[in-house]
Amino acid sequence: MVRELCNERDFDLIIAGAGPAGAALAYKMASTGARTLLLEKADFPGQTRPWVVDVEESCFSRGNIPPPEKDSLWKKASRHFLSTSDLTTMTEIGESPLISIKNDSYIREIVSRAKRRGVKLLCGREAISPLIHKDSVVGVEVVDSNGNKEKILAKIVADCTGISAAIRSQTPDHWKMNESIELKDIVYAKRETRRIQKDLDAEEVPCLPYAPGVRIDRSGVRGAYSIESVFIDIEESFIDILVGVKADRGGRSACSELIENIIQKMPYVGEVIYGGEAPIPIRNPIECPVGNGILSLGDSAFQAVPMHGSGFASAVIAAEIASRSIIQAIESKRYTRQVLWKYASEFNRGRGAILTYYDVLRKNVESMNAYEIDKMIRSRIISEEETLTGLSVRPFPASPLYIAKKIVRGGALFRPLLRFGIAGGLARMAYRKYRKYPDSYNHEAFEKWKKSFPV
């Protein structure tokens, strides 16, 4: 049975999904006076995200939202290394631009702040489709755990439903918003925090180089785009394990296998106390994230960082930009693509251009095998500089001196180095394309921009 809600339940903005993007957007809208509804399919915000996430520390100031409180922060390793797949060569990363936070805890923090400032939260309701009238989204249809459906009306809908893009994916074809994602553009990530023996002495840890207090990121464990990260904390009696494998190379089952292989070597490791898993989109952001009465942000708009797979920072940054366009639309009483386009333009010319840069790099180098990646780490073609640049989500240098250094270090690695160089050139072209993203919506101009360089 479908029940249409009465007028007093109508809203200026419906935010579908209380993940990082939805929570941040709700917080941004809370002080504007706009009637905002935040929908969450789980029983409470953060329930489906019980894991640690690595986040660019700068994203909180860039997104103008409060940084995590003490209870939401995760302990940082004293030292951080990038390792070859065989663990024989390691490069110390130095001061990482990332901090680790409890995903669920921080989301609850931000949603609680938004609620106190007037945002209405409705849990146990999953947004399943857009309501479309006269070529514009005018609300959403939701379903509860008992299968009861409701229609909720709003002037604008923000799709923050994650990789499923439940609302955006069902918009009409002629809106050019319903881009899909292929298996090859998804990475499966799994992170577990497990208890370890409380009376364990540092000298008893038999699994070097996984030394206490040290985080080691082992690259290329299942192909070019894969990672295995281990951090052991003796004082707090836990081990933190993160693995990521592309969906077309084993995905979920491969992640479970990698974790099992680690803990089998460590008899002092016990049960899981915190953790979870999720698919992550690692392709370039969708080219058109707005339509009449709708915008898409976060994983719904494929805004994760292809370099390390985290979409948290991009979601926070997107929420800051989107909120300004939403406020302008509400104040002008014009909820059209033309008004909401400012969000599309500002995001894609900035953060989106860098995400696209890394996506092109990924596509052109992911065919490398573990041997080639290991050789590039050993020869310092991939060094601390490249690692920190990628974690900071900035383009690599393109100066003649920088390139000459890599050629000298590369030596016999001519083929992978050439492939990496070509990928860098193509990535720069894609970056320049997105930097020229149309600043206002015009169908002909937008189509011309799309054809300017195939991503």
- φ/ψ of 7, rounded to 5, equals -60, -30
pLDDT tens for each residue of 41-78: 999 999 999 999 999 999 999 999 999 999 999 998 98
Query: What is the DSSP code (8-state) at residue 201?
Result: -
For residue 13, give the 3-state DSSP assignment.
Answer: strand
Q: How far apart are the C-alpha atoms of 126 and 47, rounded to whole Å? A: 14
Q: How far apart are the C-alpha atoms of 36 and 25, rounded to whole Å? A: 10
pLDDT category, 306, cuts 50, 70, 90? confident
**Residue 214 and residue 82 in contact, taking contact as beta carbons nearer than 8 Å:** no
Q: Which of 8, 12, 50, 18 is nearest to 115 (CA)?
A: 18
pLDDT category, 387, cuts 50, 70, 90? confident
pLDDT tens for each residue of 86-134: 889 999 988 889 999 999 999 999 999 999 999 999 999 999 999 999 9
Which whole number is the average pLDDT over 262-267?
87
Lowest mean pLDDT among 242-246, 296-300, 404-408: 404-408
- pLDDT over 50 at 7, yes or no: no
Residues in a beta bridge with 218 = 83, 228
Residue 5: the pLDDT is 44
Residue whose tokens read 């409470």: 44
Classify strands 238-246 and 186-196 as parallel, antiparallel or unpaired: antiparallel
Q: What is the mean pLDDT of the chain?
A: 89
- pLDDT over 90 at 308, yes or no: no
For residue 325, give the 3-state DSSP assignment.
Answer: helix
Residue 144: the pLDDT is 95
Classify strands 214-219 and 290-291 as parallel, antiparallel or unpaired: unpaired
Q: How many CB atoms lie within 10 A of CB 145?
A: 10
Domains and CATH numbers, the chain: 2-71+103-179+285-344 (3.50.50.60), 184-281 (3.30.9.10), 355-435 (no CATH)
DSSP characters over 221-287:
BTBSSEEEEEEEETTTTEEEEEEEEEGGGTHHHHHHHHHHHHHHT-TTEEEEEEEEEEEEE-SPPPS
Q: Higher confidence at residue 381 or residue 283?
A: 283
Q: Which of 408, 430, 369 is nearest to 86 (CA)?
A: 369
Tokens of 413: 């690695």
